[in-house]
């Protein structure tokens, strides 16, 4: 196997903690939740005459942030978002394409992880080239970071630590801003920002829910969510969330287990000051994951036709990971309506893997073997983030405007160690009949393999000028400092990046009518690259520029949002391999040359409530990605995407029943790889559509039962592992039944 193959395959590592308390916590939450909810339920089912006339609604904390919270609204949209800028603006007021996946949509579509969000959101897609690794994409470019409460958490994508399986149980919503977002995200690609917004302890009275689920491939889950006050005045409030999920897969031997715990506390230090802090821990255990995909050709050059259950993994293989976060925030509102936010976040990712990679093209019926490469890697990533944000209204020329300033400091340390497999290894003689029986290696101790230290500093300022009652202009900039030292010891020379970039932001919004606005915006983002040219000089940062213009509409007092956008994205200075070795460089280190890539297209989206009881999300995206010579780029990413889902609560006697469904369609994707004859051949997945259905019934005022069917027509589809002639099948039809009790 080549050095470049090893560099692409190298993965990730496991937890520092080996105990498993989370399943117990979830069951305790469930037991406590039911016990706590029973008296309240008894009062509802058998109220006294006095109680019937004095029933009170739950009291919640109010404030500006409540406009953004989606929990309990039943909505498919939100009142405001602040992922695009530090200003809290409605979707109509934001001069970029923004989607919000609300709590109600997560529940209706049974979304459990960030992977589910990406698969069901306008304009973003997934290239899942293995069972446990994938590339998120938008508008033709990769997404390599997630934001949590506005703080970017960057990961080394080849060394995944369970990022695509991040649980949604601790989040209120996911805000998705497409295009460049350098003002808030710092360094990155001009693709999209996915901001996961945590649930807060907002309730002064005891509230919560307990849920259970069971589905295809012996998948089972339970979840508890409990909010309560810690003092009589309700100024100290807590929230606990626990989740446990386990099951097999449509792939032979593959199994998974996910445990999540989240706890947060809100303390009202005064009527204007709130301190909130918390922690979370998620553990993902993956048994027999595939490392690489299934071979596309037999040794004689003919195409393979594997069952979707076929695996290249081994019975002893595993890939386990944990992600722990600790955070503390202080929010203060001054008498002049200015707001101050101070925050600190710490994230610790650990992963441990024991993997088997099978390479080459098998002979039919065992006429020739596949080669094997066992690999074991342990990774640790620690990221500390500090931020301060200050903003509020200002008077200028007799009109009120808004300004915000902030500073973000982020420090990340990444380390990967490897274990060597002792002894010689045979291949798999007959892959047609391979069932995962591969001799487990004896592993050596850990040795250094790869490391990276990354520091980002960002100082930003932004203002929204109310030029007239109908015209708003948003101007901003971010001063970035990026420093990274890395060393992929077996593959490349150590590198050091030290970049200083200024990221501008400009937008204009004009209200055409009471419901319609026209907008235009320019944003950019930069991405340092460690690639070198033929003379050995490091290439300059890639600059991603986004131009967007369109129309936005808001109806029914913000309960329904719609948008139409035309966009153009330029990525200038992207390094592309020349295939020529750098003179005097390390073996296998090729020279790169800088090229420009352009993505142009349009997007349509509508989300919200069309009528009482009828929610809809529908989005269509179409674009082309080309280099200066007109050649298509990013062909493994779909360039036409349709995302739809709708639910309707039946009227009259059937009002306890809600039904829903949707279609996710994408056009064809393709790449080229070298076949056994040594020639380049096209690998293509034709366009396909996945049909999803749901139904929910209110058994009582507190208890609901729900059924979800994904990929109703059992469509067969795959993603490809670029350049390695391998594919990974997507999920067949699946059914999940769940029940939730709220109190």
Task: State how far the Cα of 313 lies from the Cα of 547, in Å rounded to an integer.
Answer: 44
Residue 46 CB: number of other CB atoms within 10 A? 8
Q: Is 308 left (phi over 0), alpha (psi -120 to 50) or beta?
A: alpha
Predicted local confidence at residue 533, as pLDDT: 82
pLDDT at residue 62 greater than cutoff 80 = no
Residues 495/486, Cβ–Cβ less than 8 Å: yes
Residue 24: inside a domain: no
Binning pLDDT at 50, 70 and 90, where does residue 17 land? very low
Same domain, yes or no: 405 and 368: yes
Predicted local confidence at residue 213, as pLDDT: 98
Per DSSP, the residues of 34-45 read HHHHHHHHHHHH
Helix or strand (DSSP H, E) at 633:
none
Residue 15: inside a domain: no
**Burial class of 629 by CB neighbour count within 10 A (0 to 12, 13 to 18, 19+):** exposed
Per DSSP, the residues of 342-393 read EEEEEEEEEEEEEEEEEES-PPGGGSSPBEEEEEEEEEEEEEEEEEEEEEEE
The last residue of one of the domains, among 120, 151, 185, is 185
Predicted local confidence at residue 725, as pLDDT: 87
The last residue of one of the domains, among 147, 164, 185, is 185
Same domain, yes or no: 306 and 421: yes
Task: State how far the Cα of 670 lies from the Cα of 654, in Å rounded to an integer.
Answer: 46
User: pLDDT (tens digit, 9 = 90+) per residue, 469-485?
Assistant: 999 999 999 999 999 99
Quick one: average pLDDT of 565-574? 93
Give the range among 101-115, 163-177, 373-387, 577-591 with minimum mean pLDDT. Answer: 577-591
Burial of 415-452, coded b for 16+ CB within 10 Å and e otherwise, reads bbbbbebeeeeebbeebeebebebeebeeeeeeebbbb
Report CA torsion sign: 103, 108, 112, 116.
negative
Report CA torsion sign: 75, 76, 82, 83.
positive
User: pLDDT (tens digit, 9 = 90+) per residue, 7-16?
Assistant: 344 443 333 3
User: pLDDT (tens digit, 9 = 90+) per residue, 526-569?
Assistant: 999 878 888 878 888 899 999 999 999 999 999 999 999 999 99
Residue 16: inside a domain: no
Could you tell me the residue range of the domain that residue 633 belongs to?
192-742
Question: What is the residue whose two structure tokens read 């200066």?
Answer: 628
pLDDT at residue 393 greater than cutoff 80 = yes
Predicted local confidence at residue 524, as pLDDT: 94
Same domain, yes or no: 258 and 390: yes
User: pLDDT (tens digit, 9 = 90+) per residue, 23-46?
Assistant: 433 343 443 333 333 333 233 333
Predicted local confidence at residue 489, as pLDDT: 56
**Burial class of 526 by CB neighbour count within 10 A (0 to 12, 13 to 18, 19+):** buried
pLDDT at residue 20 greater than cutoff 50 = no
- Here the CATH number for the domain that contains residue 138 is 2.170.130.10
Query: Measuring CA to CA, how many Å separate 83 from each of 125, 150, 184, 333, 585?
Result: 19, 6, 7, 20, 42
Same domain, yes or no: 359 and 334: yes
User: pLDDT (tens digit, 9 = 90+) per residue, 270-285?
Assistant: 999 999 999 999 999 9
Predicted local confidence at residue 334, as pLDDT: 96
Predicted local confidence at residue 171, as pLDDT: 97
Quick one: average pLDDT of 669-688? 92
The last residue of one of the domains, among 131, 162, 185, is 185
Same domain, yes or no: 290 and 176: no
User: pLDDT (tens digit, 9 = 90+) per residue, 87-108?
Assistant: 999 999 999 999 999 999 999 9
Give the range among 72-81, 185-194, 490-499 with minimum mean pLDDT. Answer: 490-499
Residue 72: inside a domain: no
Residues 358/428, Cβ–Cβ less than 8 Å: yes
User: pLDDT (tens digit, 9 = 90+) per residue, 403-462?
Assistant: 999 999 999 999 999 999 987 778 899 999 999 999 999 999 999 998 999 999 999 999
Helix or strand (DSSP H, E) at 71:
none
Query: Measuring CA to CA, how many Å separate 203 from each of 3, 71, 233, 267, 277?
Result: 55, 12, 12, 12, 15
Residue 2: inside a domain: no
Which residues touch 427 (CB under 8 Å, ≥6 apart)?
Answer: 358, 360, 369, 370, 371, 372
User: pLDDT (tens digit, 9 = 90+) per residue, 162-208?
Assistant: 788 899 999 999 999 999 999 999 999 999 999 999 999 999 999 99
Residue 223: inside a domain: yes
Structure tokens, 216: 């295809």
Residue 67: inside a domain: no
Q: How remote is the C-alpha of 211 from its chain's centroid? A: 23
Which residues touch 611 (CB under 8 Å, ≥6 apart)?
Answer: none
Structure tokens, 405: 């300033």
Same domain, yes or no: 224 and 353: yes
Same domain, yes or no: 119 and 199: no
Same domain, yes or no: 543 and 396: yes
Give the range among 247-251, 491-495, 722-726 with minimum mean pLDDT. Answer: 491-495
Predicted local confidence at residue 301, as pLDDT: 92
pTM metric for this prediction: 0.89
Residues 404/391, Cβ–Cβ less than 8 Å: yes
pLDDT at residue 328 greater than cutoff 80 = yes
Binning pLDDT at 50, 70 and 90, where does residue 231 land? very high
Predicted local confidence at residue 282, as pLDDT: 96
Q: How far apart are the first and last CA of the chain?
A: 57
pLDDT at residue 490 greater than cutoff 60 = no
Residue 108: HSE in the Cβ half-sphere, 13 Å Cα cutoff? 28
Residue 485: inside a domain: yes
pLDDT at residue 360 greater than cutoff 50 = yes
Same domain, yes or no: 362 and 408: yes
- Here the CATH number for the domain that contains residue 271 is 2.40.170.20
Task: State how far the Cα of 101 lies from the Cα of 106, in Å rounded to an integer.
Answer: 7
Same domain, yes or no: 200 and 341: yes
Query: pLDDT exceeding 70 applies to what percent of the chain?
Result: 89
Same domain, yes or no: 442 and 457: yes
Predicted local confidence at residue 494, as pLDDT: 72
Binning pLDDT at 50, 70 and 90, where does residue 588 land? low
pLDDT at residue 608 greater than cutoff 90 = yes
Predicted local confidence at residue 538, as pLDDT: 82
Cross-strand partners of 252? none
More confident residue, 158 or 266: 266
Q: Look over the chain and give the mean of its residue pLDDT values, rounded to a whole number.
A: 88
Same domain, yes or no: 264 and 145: no
Domain count, the chain: 2
């Amino acid at each position: 196997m080549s050095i470049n193959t090893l560099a692409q395959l190298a993965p990730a590592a496991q937890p520092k903690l080996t105990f498993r308390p989370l399943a117990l916590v979830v069951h305790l939450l469930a037991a406590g939740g039911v016990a706590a909810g029973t008296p309240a339920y008894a009062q509802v089912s058998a109220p006294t005459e006095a109680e019937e006339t004095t029933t009170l609604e739950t009291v919640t904390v109010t404030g500006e942030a409540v406009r953004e919270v989606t929990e309990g609204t039943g909505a498919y949209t939100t009142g405001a978002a602040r992922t695009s800028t530090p200003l809290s603006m409605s979707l109509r007021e934001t001069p970029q394409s923004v989607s919000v996946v609300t709590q109600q949509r997560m529940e209706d579509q049974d979304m459990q992880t960030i992977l589910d969000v990406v698969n069901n959101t306008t304009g973003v897609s997934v290239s899942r080239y293995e069972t446990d690794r994938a590339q998120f994409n938008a508008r033709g470019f990769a997404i390599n970071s997630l934001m949590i409460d506005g703080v970017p958490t960057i990961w080394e994508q080849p060394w995944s630590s369970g990022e695509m399986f991040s649980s949604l149980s601790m989040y209120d919503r996911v805000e998705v801003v497409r295009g460049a977002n350098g003002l808030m995200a710092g360094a990155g690609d001009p693709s999209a920002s996915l901001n996961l917004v945590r649930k807060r302890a907002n309730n002064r009275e005891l509230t919560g829910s307990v849920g259970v689920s069971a589905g295809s491939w012996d998948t089972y889950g339970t979840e508890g969510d409990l909010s309560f006050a810690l003092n009589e005045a309700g100024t100290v409030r807590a929230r606990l969330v626990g989740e446990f999920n386990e099951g097999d897969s449509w792939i032979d031997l593959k199994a998974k287990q996910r445990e999540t715990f989240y706890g947060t506390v809100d303390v009202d230090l005064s009527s204007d000051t709130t301190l909130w802090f918390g922690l979370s821990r998620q553990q993902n255990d993956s048994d027999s994951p595939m490392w690489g995909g299934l071979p596309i050709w037999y040794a004689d050059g003919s195409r393979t036709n594997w069952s979707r259950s076929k695996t290249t993994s081994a019975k002893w293989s595993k890939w386990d990971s944990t992600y722990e976060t600790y955070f503390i925030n202080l929010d203060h509102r001054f008498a002049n309506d200015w707001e101050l936010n101070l925050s600190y976040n710490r994230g610790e990712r650990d992963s441990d893997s024991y993997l088997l990679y099978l390479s080459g093209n098998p002979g039919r019926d065992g006429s020739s073997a596949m080669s094997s490469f066992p690999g074991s890697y342990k990774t640790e990533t620690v990221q500390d983030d500090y931020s301060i944000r200050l903003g509020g209204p200002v008077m200028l020329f007799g009109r009120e405007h808004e300004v915000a300033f902030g500073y973000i400091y982020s420090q990340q340390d990444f380390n990967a160690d490897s274990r060597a497999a002792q002894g010689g290894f045979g291949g798999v003689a007959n892959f047609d009949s391979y069932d995962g029986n591969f001799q487990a290696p004896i592993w050596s101790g850990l040795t250094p393999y790869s490391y990276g230290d990354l520091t980002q500093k960002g100082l930003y300022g932004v203002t929204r000028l109310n030029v007239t009652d109908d015209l708003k202009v948003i101007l901003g900039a971010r001063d970035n400092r990026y420093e990274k030292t890395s060393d992929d010891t077996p593959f490349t020379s150590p590198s050091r990046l030290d970049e200083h970039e200024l990221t501008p932001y400009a937008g204009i919004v004009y209200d055409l009518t009471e419901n319609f606005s026209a907008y235009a915006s320019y944003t950019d983002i930069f991405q340092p690259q460690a690639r070198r040219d033929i003379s050995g000089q490091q290439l300059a940062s890639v600059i991603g520029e986004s131009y967007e213009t369109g129309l936005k509409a808001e109806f029914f007092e913000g309960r329904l949002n719609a948008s139409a956008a035309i966009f153009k994205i330029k990525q200038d200075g992207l390094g592309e391999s020349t295939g020529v070795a750098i003179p005097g460089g390390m073996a296998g280190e090729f020279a790169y040359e800088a090229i420009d890539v352009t993505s142009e297209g349009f997007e349509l989206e509508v989300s919200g409530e069309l009528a009482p009881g009828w929610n809809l999300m529908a989005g269509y995206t179409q674009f082309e990605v080309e280099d200066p010579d007109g050649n298509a780029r990013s062909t493994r990413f779909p360039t036409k995407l349709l995302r739809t889902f709708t639910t309707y609560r039946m009227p009259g006697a059937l009002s306890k029943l809600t039904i829903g469904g949707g279609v996710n369609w994408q056009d064809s994707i393709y790449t080229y790889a070298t076949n056994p004859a040594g020639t380049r051949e096209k690998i293509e997945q034709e366009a396909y559509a996945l049909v999803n259905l749901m139904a929910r019934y209110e058994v009582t005022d507190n208890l609901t039962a729900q059924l979800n069917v994904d990929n109703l027509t059992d469509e067969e589809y795959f993603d490809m592992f670029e350049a390695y002639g391998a594919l990974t099948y997507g999920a067949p039809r699946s059914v999940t039944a769940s029940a939730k009790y709220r109190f």
